Structure 1
């Protein structure tokens, strides 16, 4: 049993390391099979369920843990065009690296699992913003805009990257809000900011962001390894 599980982990790792960054978030492009059960700043918990013969669309997941609730038999297409047959039992618990894949249930029974996706756990680069809300800009306007930006970033294949807004609770005359941008690494930061979907979303809030940028404290930071 241990040998079989180790082999399964190796197969999953091999598939998950071969991803195309253009794939999308599973919950957006395949809500029939992927349902968000819980989400906060640290994790997103998905319930995944495939009936016999069901097949998904190519999508991505950040790193996390998969807990299989049933026996399973699936064919996994990888982003590089390869594919692998994966079989396992109810109770299997696997660590999964960031992945692009397209699963299909090749068994005779429905299979179900819980996948816990980690957020910000591999952030190698952050952008940090301290500011007051400019005249004519409300907290709700900024929050809604950032949610739209995060949707565009998720659609680029990075559901664990994006922006988080915090209200500063200490008395501070100069800054009232803190915004954090989280990115896997510098190359990903550049790729996202050059993407058409990010630019289109950013254009919608350009006036608001320019007002914030005129008086913010802005820093870029990379993780010390």
Structure 2
């Protein structure tokens, strides 16, 4: 996996929660902002704003427009991105860590506070 996005672009990615099974990142940028090449493990991305981005990796490019309030699967990948729209990007990434197993007997209900 390539560089961690919180190291390559700490002004855009922040860790908001982490435990042994997941890491949750907040991503925010403005029109024209770009990220350095970085990697993501398997993740769920939740869009908090509508935005348009260009992603590039290995000589390939893709442009995507996402609406606010979507939850999308993001398979493990390496890329660099640029906000090519007129709105800020605001998203949450729930990165999955290896070793997630079955629910242990007696595990508490509800969120881990």
Distance 2:55 2:99 in 1: 25
Name the SS of the counterpart of 2:7 in structure 1: helix
**Deviations 1:28-63 (Å, cap 9, x if unpaired)?**
111011000000001000000111100000000100
Distance 2:79 2:86 in 1: 21
Aligned length: 100
Q: Which runs of 5+ in 2 are unaligned?
A: 101-113
Task: Provide the residue aligned with 1:67 in structure 2.
Answer: 46
User: Structure 1: which 4+ aligned runs deviate by more than 2 Å?
Assistant: none
5 Å-filtered alignment, 1:51-90, equals: 51-78=30-57, 80-90=58-68
Q: Per-residue deviation at 1:64?
A: 1.3
Distance 1:66 1:39 in 2: 16
Name the SS of the counterpart of 2:93 in structure 1: strand
Distance 1:121 1:113 in 2: 25
More strand by share: 2
Task: Provide the residue aligned with 2:85 in structure 1.
Answer: 107
Q: Per-residue deviation at 1:109?
A: 1.3
Q: Per-residue deviation at 1:111?
A: 1.3
Task: Provide the residue aligned with 2:29 in structure 1.
Answer: 50
Task: Provide the residue aligned with 2:104 in structure 1.
Answer: none
Distance 1:57 1:63 in 2: 19
**Deviations 1:107-150 (Å, cap 9, x if unpaired)?**
1111100000001158xxxxxxxxxxxxxxxxxxxxxxxxxxxx
Task: Provide the residue aligned with 1:118 in structure 2.
Answer: 96
Higher relative contact order (CA 8 A, sep 6+): 2
Q: Which of these residues, 75, 82, 92, is aligned with residue 97 of structure 1?
A: 75
Q: Which runs of 5+ in 1 are unaligned?
A: 1-20, 123-225
More helix by share: 1
RMSD of Structure 2 on Structure 1 (CA):
1.2
**Bigger radius of gyration:** 1
